[in-house]
């Protein structure tokens, strides 16, 4: 039995998230989505290969079991730390006077060969923004169009080789093989941008545990990426230091009170100290420390946007990731800082149980589109019987119906919003 399987691992500072998907009749079918605590990733960079390897392999084995498919090829999602982008246009003459997958592969190869990068850098991805066929702009579905000259407008993702090698080192001597390297923040486009809301300058900011990744799109084309090495871990650290708690105690406390920390602060009828298990914290201290850090994180994002030189042209910003999204009245704080239209994405907006898998889902969609375009197949052999496979697939699809509809759902949501 052969099947096209796409497996994605998002390497987060707090969690690893894996999505296993297959090519469905019309679209991508999600077979399994799972996350676990990450180890060895700090501020978006892989710092302890050995420890990280253990948790990644464990997670992959688990999803292999649930998806009932053998995984070999992987797409990995990484932060934008030590990564830059560069836009370029490549032109080729069509051999058969119609566009084929082979032509697109040839153009992508040419891009790799012609762009100048430093000796310590590698091109890890090339995103196709749009095509020009004999001078006419075409956004998608280019295959089989007739023409003579094809141009590709590309965004090349260029990373420090040293950082990327660590991921290859992690999978060395395992059966897994890195097939695609994707920038988490650029994959955000799959979820949050549609034809309508991507007109003009739109920013996305993914606020995680250790890092905030920021991208500015113009008409759907990424123009700037940047990051701030700050996130939810800093809120936890501040609470731990000010209240003299361990990191774990503080993180726990943060998660318990984030949804009503403001209401608690304003409630004069209760004692100043709130309790979590055996530890106590002043609700005033909790509020003030947390709020100060949230504002600082948001201000840093604002500065990064100002640094792009396009600040006044930015129509809207969408903030996601779990770093600040759970806090009560976060929208108010965001409104205070960002003058353009803004929206903080929450679990409830996404209509899924677990927002932490959003990026690995988005990458699965991106890889699926690329495989379709290049007519490439990731063939995975499995020794399980067809019958078992069918049954398990049905069960999985039933369980994660939410995730299967997520892209459509979220895009519909944004149609209404902007």
- Separation in Å, CA 29 to CA 129, 191, 293, 313, 409: 25, 16, 39, 37, 15
Residue 250: what are its φ and ψ, rounded to 5°? -65, -40
Query: Shortest Cβ distance from residue 281 to ligand ATP (Å)?
Result: 14
Query: Shortest Cβ distance from residue 219 to ligand ATP (Å)?
Result: 26
Beta bridge partners of 73: 177
Q: Which of residues 196-225 bind ligand ATP (CB under 6 A)?
A: 208-211
Query: Shortest Cβ distance from residue 330 to Mg ion (Å)?
Result: 17
SS3 string, 143-185, reads CCCECCEEEEEEEEEEEEHHHHHHHHHHHCCCCCEEEEEEEHH
Contact between 222 and Mg ion per CB under 5 A: no
Query: Out of 53, 254, 300, 370, which residue is the one contacting ligand ATP (CB under 6 A)?
Result: 254
Closer of 189 and 254 to ligand ATP (Cβ): 254
What is the spatial distance between Cα 89 and Cα 382, in angstroms, rounded to a whole number? Answer: 41
Q: Which of residues 178-217 bind Mg ion (CB under 5 A)?
A: 208
Number of residues that bind ligand ATP (CB under 6 A): 23
Closer of 224 and 233 to Mg ion (Cβ): 233
Greatest Cα-to-Cα distance within the chain, rounded to the nearest angstrom: 78
Query: Shortest Cβ distance from residue 322 to ligand ATP (Å)?
Result: 3
Closer of 12 and 222 to Mg ion (Cβ): 12
What is the spatial distance between Cα 166 and Cα 176, in angstroms, rounded to a whole number? Answer: 14
What is the spatial distance between Cα 103 and Cα 373, in angstroms, rounded to a whole number? Answer: 11
40: partner contacted, choices Mg ion, ligand ATP, none (Cβ within 5-8 A by kind): none
Query: Shortest Cβ distance from residue 325 to Mg ion (Å)?
Result: 12
What is the spatial distance between Cα 320 and Cα 10, in angstroms, rounded to a whole number? Answer: 15
Closer of 163 and 251 to ligand ATP (Cβ): 251
Q: Which stretch binds ligand ATP (CB under 6 A): 10-18, 343-351, 366-374, 405-413?
A: 10-18
DSSP H or E segment with residue 57: helix 49-67
Query: Out of 125, 356, 366, 403, which residue is the one contacting ligand ATP (CB under 6 A)?
Result: 356
Closer of 324 and 367 to ligand ATP (Cβ): 324
Closer of 20 and 212 to ligand ATP (Cβ): 212
* Helices (H) then strands (E): counts for the chain: 13, 19
Q: Which of residues 47-86 bind ligand ATP (CB under 6 A)?
A: 79
Q: Which of residues 12-51 bind ligand ATP (CB under 6 A)?
A: 12-15, 44
- Separation in Å, CA 389 to CA 301, 370, 377, 379: 46, 25, 19, 16
Best CA proximity match to 237, nearest among 297, 182, 193? 297
Token readout for 111 is: 């891009």
If you search the block for the tokens 């080729």, which residue do you land on?
92
Q: Which of residues 318-347 bind ligand ATP (CB under 6 A)?
A: 321-323, 326
What is the spatial distance between Cα 79 and Cα 207, in angstroms, rounded to a whole number? Answer: 11
Closer of 40 and 147 to ligand ATP (Cβ): 40
Residue 413: burial class (beta carbons within 10 Å; 0-12, 13-18, 19+): middle
Crossing angle (nearest 10°) for helices 401-417 and 358-374: 90
Query: Shortest Cβ distance from residue 24 to ligand ATP (Å)?
Result: 27
Query: Shortest Cβ distance from residue 349 to ligand ATP (Å)?
Result: 15
Best CA proximity match to 307, nearest among 185, 224, 198? 224
Query: Out of 40, 231, 316, 317, which residue is the one contacting ligand ATP (CB under 6 A)?
Result: 231
| C-beta atoms surrounding 54 within 10 Å | 13
Closer of 222 and 232 to ligand ATP (Cβ): 232
Query: Out of 12, 188, 222, 325, which residue is the one contacting Mg ion (CB under 5 A)?
Result: 12
Query: Shortest Cβ distance from residue 42 to ligand ATP (Å)?
Result: 9
147: partner contacted, choices ligand ATP, Mg ion, none (Cβ within 5-8 A by kind): none
Closer of 222 and 232 to Mg ion (Cβ): 232
Residues making contact with Mg ion (CB under 5 A):
12, 208
Residues making contact with ligand ATP (CB under 6 A):
12-15, 44, 79, 208-211, 231-233, 236, 251, 254-255, 258, 321-323, 326, 356
């Amino acid at each position: 039995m052969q099947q096209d399987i796409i497996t994605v691992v998002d390497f987060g500072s707090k969690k690893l998230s894996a999505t296993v998907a297959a090519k469905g009749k019309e679209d991508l079918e999600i077979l399994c989505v799972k996350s676990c605590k990450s180890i060895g990733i700090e501020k978006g960079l892989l710092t302890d290969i050995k420890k990280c390897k253990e948790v990644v392999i464990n997670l992959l084995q688990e999803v292999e079991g649930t998806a009932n498919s053998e995984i070999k090829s992987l797409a990995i999602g990484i932060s934008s730390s030590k990564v830059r982008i560069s836009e370029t246009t490549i032109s080729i003459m069509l051999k058969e006077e119609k566009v084929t997958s082979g032509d697109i592969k040839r153009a992508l190869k040419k891009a790799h060969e012609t762009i100048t990068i430093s000796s310590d850098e590698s091109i890890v991805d090339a995103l196709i923004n749009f095509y020009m066929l004999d001078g006419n702009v075409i956004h998608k579905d280019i295959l089989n169009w007739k023409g003579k000259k094809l141009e590709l407008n590309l965004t090349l993702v260029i990373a420090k080789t040293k950082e990327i090698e660590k991921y290859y080192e992690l999978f060395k001597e395992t059966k897994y093989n890195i097939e695609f390297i994707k920038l988490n923040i650029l994959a955000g486009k799959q979820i949050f941008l549609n034809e309508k809301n991507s007109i003009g300058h739109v920013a996305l900011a993914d606020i995680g545990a250790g890092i905030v990744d920021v991208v500015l799109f113009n008409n759907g084309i990424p123009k700037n990426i940047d990051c701030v090495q700050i996130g939810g871990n800093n809120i936890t650290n501040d609470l731990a230091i000010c209240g003299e708690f361990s990191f774990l105690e503080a993180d726990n406390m943060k998660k318990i009170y984030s949804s009503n920390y403001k209401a608690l602060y304003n409630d004069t009828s209760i004692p100043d100290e709130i309790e979590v298990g055996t530890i106590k914290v002043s609700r005033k201290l909790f509020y003030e420390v947390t709020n100060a850090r949230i504002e600082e994180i948001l201000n840093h994002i604002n500065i990064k946007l100002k640094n792009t030189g396009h600040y006044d042209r930015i129509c809207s910003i969408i903030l996601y990731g779990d770093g600040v999204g759970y806090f009560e009245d976060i929208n108010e704080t965001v409104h205070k800082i960002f003058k353009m239209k803004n929206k903080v994405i929450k679990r409830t907006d996404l209509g899924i149980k677990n927002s932490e898998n959003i990026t690995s889902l988005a990458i699965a969609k991106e890889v699926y589109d690329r495989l379709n375009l290049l007519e490439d197949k990731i063939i995975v052999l499995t020794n399980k019987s067809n019958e078992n496979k069918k049954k398990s697939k049905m069960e999985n699809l039933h369980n994660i119906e939410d995730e299967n509809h997520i892209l459509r759902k979220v895009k519909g949501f944004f149609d209404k919003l902007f």
